[in-house]
Structure 1
């Protein structure tokens, strides 16, 4: 396993796409955080009076910025199928479950660190922005609360990355993986919300996007208030979806030829 992880680590950092995806994710996270902060800093043109944590806009921005990380996690698997490199990878690591686990174990910490660092920058900029004119909003950046929020943000990014690795192993296609993950993480939940059907909306609350918002304890979200269940349950649903994607990827990788 140590050799497999080392090989995957070298492959990840030896291509330019990794750097571009990470820079894009960080830039998107920061820009989206500032944009969301500006929207939350006032209400109907009036200054905001309710307390706002500086990390709240960052959590909302992560729902959009995550797709740059999804692109990177997807390429860890699908690029090898498109180039034929998967044959070499399987010759070097013939135990297929070990190969998939090595990819997931390399992707997860990279996604975690990227989420935490870019989220921290976004939170600081949000705090500075909302303390200035014309907002002068009651924004807070308490150390303990901020660290906890950033750790949850990083864990969310890591789980989304691992979920994408599993989906990529199952689908083997970059276009297919990106489409399925986008639908699962954003498209399907939003479509269900638009139906207005209470039963469907309640079911959609357990999809990865809303589970992630619950885990990150988001308040300013499209549900109009706090999520209807606790952060622990949100994490549990995220883990279920991630495990299901990895299981699907393992089954396909085990049963089909490269």
Structure 2
């Protein structure tokens, strides 16, 4: 196969991604946390319905899967972050930049590898979580409220895949800007989880509105979450949620690209 100067950096990044053990741990962790969180949240929701004496209710299995993304996102981001910070830690980034001197092309190659891998992982993890949740909650003790509609499930899983891909690209951008795993992880954690919760807990209307536009709640809005840390649906449409999520991802990648261009390896 003849690789062009545009495609061979992608092929090289693909090879590097699958040549390290951390990749498999990141992907396995994403699946495990998604499944365990979805089953736990679904079981809690079904138990509440049974306890409250609800005679008839509909509890889509993917609703719990979407809610589980609140916790799974903290694992989803590790692959994107490590795709760049591990090279800085090992010093191999110098060889990478000698091979691909156009730095934007190198970052784009990493993004073109990380995004589809995390999209597929998000869909797979969500599918396994939905099936596990449905099987567990189908037993009589949980009231038989759970449903698994094929069309609804496909849409929710595709949205979860998009969310996983975008937050991973966001982590790639932050990791490129920070260069170190510890600093990148701190920034990503605060951006995705810490800061939204702090703003939400203030109770201030301005702070709450700002929190709703941060990546975690933007992603939940895009996935049409009805059961999350806000206690109900996010107060704006899925399209706006996707726009905010894309904006944060683009900003993180732009910041990473700026630092990559201006600083020596």
Structure-1-length-normalised TM-score: 0.97
Q: Is the 8 A contact 1:166 1:248 kept in 2?
A: yes
Q: When the two structures are aligned, how many residues end up with a matched partner?
A: 258
Per-residue deviation, residues 67-112 of structure 1 (Å, max 9, x unmatched): 2221121110001101111000000100000000000110001100
Partner residue, 1:39: 44
Is residue 51 of structure 2 the alignment partner of residue 58 of structure 1?
Answer: no
Which of 153-162 and 39-48 deviates more?
39-48
Deviation at 1:47, TM superposition (A): 5.3
| In structure 2, distance between residues paired with 1:102 and 1:50 | 47
Summarize the alignment of residues 179-258 of structure 1 with structure 2, pairs less than 5 Å apart: 179-258=186-265
Is residue 23 of structure 2 the alignment partner of residue 18 of structure 1?
Answer: yes
| In structure 2, distance between residues paired with 1:124 and 1:170 | 38
Is residue 2 of structure 2 the alignment partner of residue 2 of structure 1?
Answer: no
Q: Alignment RMSD, CA only?
A: 1.1
Per-residue deviation, residues 19-63 of structure 1 (Å, max 9, x unmatched): 111111111111111111111112273355431111011111112
Q: Which runs of 5+ in 2 are unaligned?
A: 1-5
| In structure 2, distance between residues paired with 1:154 and 1:39 | 24
| In structure 2, distance between residues paired with 1:67 and 1:222 | 15
Partner residue, 1:127: 134
| In structure 2, distance between residues paired with 1:128 and 1:82 | 43
Q: Is the 8 A contact 1:47 1:135 kept in 2?
A: no
Partner residue, 1:29: 34
Partner residue, 1:146: 153
Which of 139-148 and 230-239 deviates more?
139-148
C-alpha distance 47-99 of structure 1, shift in aligned 2 (>3 A): farther
Per-residue deviation, residues 169-223 of structure 1 (Å, max 9, x unmatched): 1010100000000000000001111111111101110000000000000001122
- From 73, 78, 100, the counterpart of 1:71: 78
Structure-2-length-normalised TM-score: 0.95
Deviation at 1:133, TM superposition (A): 2.7
Is residue 166 of structure 2 the alignment partner of residue 173 of structure 1?
Answer: no
Q: Is the 8 A contact 1:73 1:161 kept in 2?
A: yes
| In structure 2, distance between residues paired with 1:72 and 1:174 | 11
| In structure 2, distance between residues paired with 1:107 and 1:68 | 14
| In structure 1, distance between residues paired with 2:240 and 2:109 | 27
Q: Is the 8 A contact 1:60 1:218 kept in 2?
A: yes
